[in-house]
A and B are shown apart, each in its own frame.
Chain A
Amino acid sequence: MKNQYTLFSIVVCIATTGCSVQEMAQTWQLDRLRVLATQSTPAEAAPGDTVEFQSLIYQPPGESLEGVVWFGCLNESATSFGCTIDPDLLDGLSEPPTDPSEQFEWFTELQAAGLLGFEPALPPNWNIPVEALDTLDEADKVEGVSAFLNLTVIPAEADESGNDEDIEIAFKRYPISLNPEPNENPLLSHFLVNGTEYGLEEVPKIIAGGTLEFDVAFEDGSVQEYTYTNPDTGESEIRTETPYLSWYTESGRFSNTVSLLPYTSIEWTAPDTPTRSEIIVTVRDRRGGMDWIRFDVIVEAE
């Protein structure tokens, strides 16, 4: 299909969609149960390594989380949306078999399908299959492949009502390689408000309707320099990570959804009424590594 809406139409559309988009929920708005990030330790693994995972789930006040189901698979058994999982297996998550033998059988099938864990009861981890890179030549093994992780975030209400509309589905790629300098997660140390450093336990204050400029600081060495060797040409070069930040807030509004080097700061406008608002910022290093910090801001009356 050739769908050639010319440039102007696209641009006019973008220029005129601003208001309509702003009428709807924004990606930086924390108003429902959702997954914001995951962190893998290590951030990049070799075949045979064991990897531990954790997720950053936002739960609105008053809403409870049933759990987060993790699956993992290698690339060959995945689609562009992650691992291919038999829907019948997932149905059992809301109504697990009661018979112990059926329960064991079901669990065995889940593990065979790639079940990695069920937060919080069963912390997810993955023993990377040793044959993960067997099909690659030596140069490509250094570059590696991306496996897939699938997360299903289940609110407690979903079980009771049987309604799965509130279930959040997410997927992530996980790099597996023989890279001698494997990637590491970026680490955020603290945040800044209007250029002033704040510890994670500190709570800045602002007058309702006012604006603040937020920023974050990275741990030293957290933004890595690494050697990349092109597997086709064999040429090597030093590259530097270009991490970017995603910002979220329970109230107020951000001027943008992301910020990235060299302009990592972002403007936040406080709500018009006094409240205590949580701010979450996540960082991605574009190589699979992630980190996040959370802090509160107190909004006071004028």
Chain B
Amino acid sequence: MNSALPLLPVALMLMLSAPAFAQDTPAPNQDTPESDEPLPLVKNPELVEYVQAPYPEAAKEEGREGTVLLLIEIDEAGDVSYIEVLESAGADFDAAATEAAWNFVFDPAEDANGPTPVQIEFSYGFVLDASTVEGAVEDEQAKEEVFLPINLDGVVVEMGTKRPLANFPILITTADGTVIETQTDENGTYEAAVYPVGIVSIQCAYPEYETSVREIELTEGDRTSLRIWMKNLNYREDELVGVYRKPSADVARRTLTMEEVKRVPGTFGDPVRVIQSLPGAARSPFGSGFLIIRGANPEDSAVYVDGIRVPLIYHLGGLVSILNPDLIDTVDYLPGSYGVQYGRSLGGVVDVKTKQEFPEDNQFYWSTDIIDSGGLVQGRVGDWGVAVAGRRSYIDVFIPLFTQNQNFTVSPKWYDYQVKVQQLDRKNGSLSIFAFGYRDQLTAGTNANTAQGSDPDFQGDFGSINSAHRAYVQWKHNFSDTWNMTVTPSYGIDSASFDVGGGVRVTQDQPMLELRAETRWAPSDRFNLLLGTDTVAGNFTFKAELPFSFEDAASFDPLAERNPVSFGGEGYYYTPDIYLQTEIHPLKDVDRWVIYPGIRYGVGQIWDTENPDPLINVQGWDPRLSTRFKTGENGTLKGGVGLYSQWPQPFEVWRPNGSTELDMEKVLSAELGLEQQIIPGLNADVSVFGKKLYDLIVDNPRATDADSLFYVNEGIGRIYGMEAIIKQDPINNLFGWISYTLSRSERNDYPNRTSELEADEVIGAPSSGDWYLFDLDQTHILTGVLGYQFPKDFGVSGQLQYVTGNPYTPYSGGIYDLDQDFYTGYSTAPYNSERLPNFFALNLRADKTFTFEKWQLDAYADFLNVIRGENPEFVVYNYDYTDRRFIRSLPFIPSFGFETEFHF
């Protein structure tokens, strides 16, 4: 068809990129008052009907070419309302171009109010080529063909993330200075007819992106594709979201989003660790990551992944979580007063949610630091999103460097994996499959020919292996606007084994089926109903080998002959808990007040196949009530009260003969708080709480042999305090928070006993019937986090911690046991009656993101304990308890790491 074009008047359009420019140049007939500030355009005008000007005969015969620069005003309807020749190419060219331009039709420009008149500059070129000299074609079809030979196309994508960039303007400058503009569509693609061909310059500029300028050569008859990479000047700006509260029945729920918290010092790049900087979370020894939430034992807090309970959230030592950080979407941290969806725990809850969205391109992440390395591949396969991740530690290589002079080595190793598949674009819901697991192994010991104490039964190394695997299918469906359902069946297996010097060996396997299903019915915006079940059933097997029998242990006579025993158990358990919760909005202003009454019914049994009686047979109702009331636009009053029950720990539920006669441990919890926006971007959250613990499981002091009850529900406890957080949202690249917790946690193991009766004679001992401080009670916990994002993707942050020292029991001396060659310390002060010096530490972090065409490199340096106090974690006494030293917490630790992100 091109050959039929004897005359090729090439119209070179210039639709100037800056819409403001078009409006800054007022049209002669425009009535807009000068004082009116024009609104920015949200859409540029687009030429939808082009009219070709006839090549002036005289110019053709004379071989003249030229370009006319026109000023064209386009009205709200897209019609041309005014034309002015800005640069003349000769009267004949000017007339032809102007006449043709009057017949152009545009898709009008738009601002926030809709279509709006604008002015544009338009270059109308007249060019002769070989074909045009042969003849002229005037028919309409030929005219259209003239403007369709697209010879340049491509896509504009963001460097590093490979994300397509929509509505990005592109300026193309040819060798003769002609400028052509186009822009990307919603998929980031663009195309243009660029003439004359030859070397052309292609420029793409956009706010917050580095301008890209490329030169390429276009050849006649060829179509060239060019991918343009745009570097975002600050990738992190969109990522700074952080800690926020999501209104729900969980009064104290704090939801963490990943990108901000990953940059908190001391987290080793793992977002889950930031929980320990939030109110209610006590400092754990050696930064080990134990969840000590609101004065509860670490084992009393529950950990979930997408609602499926897992044994632990951190690998050995608490340095990193069991999930790849890039697979985590949010972390819900619930220190107390949570809803009925969560149960079987007295302490707090941590629920890690994995990502629900998958990128359109394929992505590969790789992270490496001094602890471990891991990778993640995610993308799409057909209608399914797929993510595969894995990680392996190598910290065991470094630890011997620090312990080589101590004749003692520690070797922790771990790995984890995750595979997630999710159906995309599923109508009215979603379907996903997720499998994940981990394995932690720890060995410790001395050299082979060095005695480890004097006991011949414990001369081997210490070793432990813990592993857990889970696989679930999650189906979500919206039956209607008012009714939805989520069903998550899962299968899992937990295994644990440990070997204490070859003398004590225990192995345990626990496969399980779990069903979490809930349906919500919301007939109106003032009422909805949630009904769910949290059912777990499975079986267990364990085997134990001990160098001494229960009777040997009870007699505690080191001169007596030992009788090694080997025993095991096999059985099954089930606990079909159900829960019901309503959401009531009593006022017409539905957002002002919401009440969440709920109740959870917990029931469960554990059976040993060799035992006619159930080991555990428990049931109970846990009623809970929480509420939120808006005190104004910026304040919310909140409160909650509820009962929480917890099963016995695994080591407490077995007995050789008969039932353990154990009931669930219970806590009555109450909380009252206020959320208040101080100024935009600065929010405060203050709560007071109290917990009454009862039926706590403690050692049975009357146990004498294997037929005795090993544990009894005699203990009680009380925990009370307040917690507060003031948080600066990420504004002007600044983020941070100050959290403070004031609390006291106490226990009384045997409240019905007195020291004068049957308990130990040592006043204040846990067995005496007196109140004593919880081992990890910390009166004041103050944490400050501050971070700043500089340009060029460079960030620094700091974390300051001040925490009251843990309580400990002082010893005054020791009594020498001649048979066992060691001293037993005796105390003249009550149990946990003294405190370690306070803890103080400053951690710093600096990170920088480097962006390349197809990948990004995020490098960081984490400096733990840049400034620190004495920071004792424990008291250690000398051999006869006449001298003591504090074991200091972790020293200054520089940690370096990087993460890469590839798109392919």
B879 adjacent to A18 (CB under 8 Å): no
Q: Measured between C-beta atoms, what is the minimum distance from A211 to chain B in Å?
A: 15
Determine, out of A59-67, A85-93, A169-177, the stretch whose residues face the partner at the interface: A169-177
Question: Is B878 close to A, CB under 8 A?
Answer: yes
Closest to A26 in B: B879
Closest to A244 in B: B454
B818 adjacent to A35 (CB under 8 Å): yes
A9 adjacent to B559 (CB under 8 Å): no
A15 adjacent to B406 (CB under 8 Å): yes
Which residues of chain A are within 8 angstroms of B883 by Cβ–Cβ distance? 24-25
Which residues of chain B are within 8 angstroms of A169 by Cβ–Cβ distance? 815-816
- Bits for A1-41, please: 1 = Cβ < 8 Å to B, else 0: 11111111101111111111101111100000011011000
B403 adjacent to A173 (CB under 8 Å): no
- Bits for A238-276, please: 1 = Cβ < 8 Å to B, else 0: 010010101000000001101110010000000000000
Determine, out of A104-112, A188-196, A280-288, A294-302, the stretch whose residues face the partner at the interface: A280-288
Q: Measured between C-beta atoms, what is the minimum distance from A267 to chain B in Å?
A: 10
Question: Is B698 close to A, CB under 8 A?
Answer: yes
Which residues of chain A are within 8 angstroms of B453 by Cβ–Cβ distance? 258
Which residues of chain A are within 8 angstroms of B888 by Cβ–Cβ distance? 16, 20
Bound complex: CA of A11 vs CA of B749, how far in Å? 27
Q: Measured between C-beta atoms, what is the minimum distance from A121 to chain B in Å?
A: 22
A1 adjacent to B747 (CB under 8 Å): yes
Question: Is B38 close to A, CB under 8 A?
Answer: no
Question: Is A81 close to B, CB under 8 A?
Answer: yes
A171 adjacent to B818 (CB under 8 Å): yes
Question: Is B819 close to A, CB under 8 A?
Answer: yes
Determine, out of B106-114, B149-157, B282-290, B834-842, the stretch whose residues face the partner at the interface: B282-290
Which residues of chain B are within 8 angstroms of A54 by Cβ–Cβ distance? none
Once A18-B406, A171-B818 are accepted as A-B contacts, the answer to whether A9 and B288 lie under 8 Å apart by CB is yes
Which residues of chain A are within 8 angstroms of B878 by Cβ–Cβ distance? 21, 24-26
B403 adjacent to A258 (CB under 8 Å): no
Once A81-B824, A170-B817 are accepted as A-B contacts, the answer to whether A256 and B450 lie under 8 Å apart by CB is yes
Bound complex: CA of A15 vs CA of B462, how far in Å? 13
Question: Is A168 close to B, CB under 8 A?
Answer: yes
Bound complex: CA of A230 vs CA of B647, how far in Å? 38
Q: Say which size band chain B's interface belongs to.
A: 35 or more
Question: Is A228 close to B, CB under 8 A?
Answer: yes
Give which listed residue, B558, B649, B749, contacts A1 with CB less than 8 A: B749
Q: Measured between C-beta atoms, what is the minimum distance from B890 to chain A in Å?
A: 8
Once A13-B873, A20-B887 are accepted as A-B contacts, the answer to whether A287 and B559 lie under 8 Å apart by CB is yes
Once A8-B317, A170-B815, A173-B559 are accepted as A-B contacts, the answer to whether A20 and B876 lie under 8 Å apart by CB is yes
Which residues of chain A are within 8 angstroms of B879 by Cβ–Cβ distance? 25-27
Question: Is A224 close to B, CB under 8 A?
Answer: no
Which residues of chain A are within 8 angstroms of B561 by Cβ–Cβ distance? 143, 228, 239
- Bits for B870-904, please: 1 = Cβ < 8 Å to A, else 0: 00011011111011111110000000000000000
Give which listed residue, A20, A82, A242, A284, contacts B886 with CB less than 8 A: A20
B557-592 CB contacts (< 8 Å) to partner A: 557-561, 563
B876 adjacent to A12 (CB under 8 Å): no
Question: Is B299 close to A, CB under 8 A?
Answer: yes
Once A15-B403, A255-B407 are accepted as A-B contacts, the answer to whether A171 and B817 lie under 8 Å apart by CB is yes
Question: Is B81 close to A, CB under 8 A?
Answer: no
B288 adjacent to A12 (CB under 8 Å): yes
Question: Is B425 close to A, CB under 8 A?
Answer: no
B876 adjacent to A21 (CB under 8 Å): yes
Q: Say which size band chain A's interface belongs to.
A: 35 or more
Bound complex: CA of A4 vs CA of B652, how far in Å? 13
Q: Measured between C-beta atoms, what is the minimum distance from A244 to chain B in Å?
A: 5
Closest to A230 in B: B563
Q: Measured between C-beta atoms, what is the minimum distance from A72 to chain B in Å?
A: 13
Once A15-B399, A256-B450 are accepted as A-B contacts, the answer to whether A23 and B885 lie under 8 Å apart by CB is yes
A20 adjacent to B819 (CB under 8 Å): no
Which residues of chain A are within 8 angstroms of B697 by Cβ–Cβ distance? 2
B887 adjacent to A17 (CB under 8 Å): yes
Give which listed residue, A3, A17, A25, A263, contacts B775 with CB less than 8 A: A3
Once A2-B297, A6-B290, A172-B818 are accepted as A-B contacts, the answer to whether A263 and B449 lie under 8 Å apart by CB is yes
Closest to B772 in A: A1
B850-884 CB contacts (< 8 Å) to partner A: 873-874, 876-880, 882-884
Which residues of chain B are within 8 angstroms of A170 by Cβ–Cβ distance? 815-818
B816 adjacent to A171 (CB under 8 Å): yes
Bound complex: CA of A279 vs CA of B699, how far in Å? 44
Q: Measured between C-beta atoms, what is the minimum distance from B708 to chain A in Å?
A: 17
Bound complex: CA of A24 vs CA of B766, how far in Å? 29
Which residues of chain B are within 8 angstroms of A12 by Cβ–Cβ distance? 286, 288, 317, 410
B821 adjacent to A11 (CB under 8 Å): no
Once A21-B878, A263-B449, A286-B559 are accepted as A-B contacts, the answer to whether A1 and B285 lie under 8 Å apart by CB is no
Question: Is B721 close to A, CB under 8 A?
Answer: no
B887 adjacent to A16 (CB under 8 Å): yes
Which residues of chain A are within 8 angstroms of B818 by Cβ–Cβ distance? 35, 37-38, 151, 170-172, 290
Which residues of chain B are within 8 angstroms of A19 by Cβ–Cβ distance? 406
Question: Is B791 close to A, CB under 8 A?
Answer: no
Q: Measured between C-beta atoms, what is the minimum distance from A272 to chain B in Å?
A: 18
Instruction: Give the top 6 A-B pairs by smallest Cβ distance, nearest first.
Output: A27-B879, A170-B816, A18-B406, A24-B878, A172-B818, A20-B885
Could you jot down 29 A-B contacts, CB within 8 Å? Answer: A2-B697, A3-B775, A4-B299, A8-B288, A9-B286, A13-B887, A14-B408, A14-B444, A15-B402, A17-B887, A18-B405, A18-B406, A21-B878, A23-B885, A27-B822, A38-B818, A81-B815, A146-B560, A171-B818, A172-B819, A228-B561, A242-B456, A246-B454, A260-B451, A260-B454, A260-B456, A260-B459, A284-B819, A286-B558
Known: A7-B498, A15-B444, A165-B813. 12 other contacts (CB 8 A): A2-B649, A6-B288, A6-B298, A8-B442, A19-B406, A26-B878, A35-B818, A171-B818, A246-B454, A256-B450, A260-B451, A263-B449
